[in-house]
Amino acid sequence: MFGFLGNKSGSLVGLDIGSSSVKLVALSKSGSGYTLEAYAVVSLPPTAVIDGNIQDVGEVAETIEKAVKVAGGKMSAAIAAVPASAVITKRIEMSNAFTEFELEDQIKVEADQFIPYPLDEVALDFEVIGPVKNNENLDKVLLVACRKTDVEQREDAISNAGLQCSIVDVDTYAVERAFPLTSPEQRDETDLVGVVDIGAATLTLNVFKGTEIVYSREQAFGGNDLTNTIHQQYGMSIEEVEQSLRLNDLSSEIQDMVVLPFRGTVAQQVSRSLQFFYSSGAHNELSALYLSGGTATIDGLADQLAEELGINADMANPFSKMSVNSRVNRSRLDRDAPSLVKACGLAMRGFEG
């Protein structure tokens, strides 16, 4: 390991730096069970993070600091993620006779051939997945690369907030890790389950077969459209709109005139992302669809999707079977849980070797 994906274990907080807010999750683990010790969701200024890129490290650092205060614990280290869209991955086969040192050298040679940036601008990591079938001399190796700046901005924001950034992961790996918690039902290995995340700026569909993502697609759509419409039509500040959406205390006029029609638009966009999936190859129907992200918490969205698409749709709640520290406000948590999937998967990374 070169170490940008890190290799630490212990209790670290997961930090999801989204385009509208920072989400923090702190877990503890005993045996095979996790406990949610604390969490926080703190809004970011609208221009701090755009399209997954940190534009203002100072503003992000301040928001992380607030999140640590809200969560109220003594936290020293964190795990963050770069978006999958910023990452290039490649599976290669390598001789298993290499020493770790030789392997690193060889990987640089390989990486140079498929990465469109000079290697000194690239953060590179790899994982040996296991032996190649029918060839005892080769290992399957997963190469992961992204621009150094994408990693460094996150590390800087976190260290300016007074925490150590122990690991920078890839966000889809976090979603994959949290998946067994968000989809607790036992299913056949061949069942396909979708998890659609609808954030402020991006809608992402990940389709799982077993515990692995077999399809992933992002589109530029999210709750920002709703927030901006309410801001423009009703003269509320962006911050007020965001706050009211989260607390669910918008006037019934705004609910009926804006939020309800927007729910229809969200349903259309989800349906569109499913069409892309079905047209991408010979896939079976999804046996279930879980909704995550703040925009997915619009009241009644899961029911609407279930009805319109004839699909078994539900909210993703990674904490539904988890023990929860009594200091955590349960009813707040039930509303916030679908937005915390990524942060939860990042926190879980802290318990891996």
When asked if residue 19 is in the footprint of ligand ATP (CB under 6 A), the reply is: yes
Stretch that binds ligand ATP, among 175-183, 205-213, 240-248, 305-313 (CB under 6 A): 240-248
Q: Which is nearer to ligand ATP, 139 or 197 (CB)?
A: 197
What does the chain come to in residues? 353
When asked if residue 293 is in the footprint of ligand ATP (CB under 6 A), the reply is: yes
Sequence letter at residue 195: V
What is the closest distance, in whole angstroms, from the C-beta atom of residue 184 to ligand ATP in the complex?
Answer: 21
When binding is defined by CB under 5 A, the residue of 52, 83, 194, 199 that contacts Mg ion is: 199
HSE of 97 in the Cβ direction (CA atoms, 13 Å)? 4
Q: What is d(CA 16, CA 239) in angstroms, rounded to the nearest whole number?
A: 19
When asked if residue 339 is in the footprint of ligand ATP (CB under 6 A), the reply is: yes
Tell me how crowded residue 233 is: count the other CB atoms within 10 A of its CB.
11
What is the closest distance, in whole angstroms, from the C-beta atom of residue 50 to ligand ATP in the complex?
Answer: 9
Q: What is d(CA 24, CA 192) in angstroms, rounded to the nearest whole number?
A: 29
What is the closest distance, in whole angstroms, from the C-beta atom of residue 74 to ligand ATP in the complex?
Answer: 25
CB 197 within 8 A of CB 216: no
Name the pairing type of β-strands 203-209 and 212-219: antiparallel
Alpha helices by DSSP H, listed for the chain, are 57-71, 100-114, 148-160, 171-182, 224-234, 238-247, 252-254, 260-278, 301-309, 330-336, 341-349
What does 200 bind: ligand ATP, Mg ion, none (CB cut-off 5 to 8 Å by kind)? ligand ATP
Stretch that binds ligand ATP, among 104-112, 147-155, 224-232, 317-325 (CB under 6 A): 224-232
Q: What tokens does 175 get?
A: 């979603």
When asked if residue 294 is in the footprint of Mg ion (CB under 5 A), the reply is: no
Q: Which is nearer to ligand ATP, 90 or 335 (CB)?
A: 335
When binding is defined by CB under 5 A, the residue of 12, 14, 17, 18 that contacts Mg ion is: 18
DSSP string spanning 7-73? ---S--EEEEE-SSEEEEEEEEEETTEEEEEEEEEEEPPTTSEETTEES-HHHHHHHHHHHHHHHTS
Q: Which is nearer to ligand ATP, 14 or 294 (CB)?
A: 294
What is the closest distance, in whole angstroms, from the C-beta atom of residue 95 to ligand ATP in the complex?
Answer: 40
Binding site for Mg ion (CB under 5 A): 18, 199
Binding site for ligand ATP (CB under 6 A): 18-21, 199-202, 222-224, 226-227, 242, 245-246, 248, 293-295, 297-298, 339
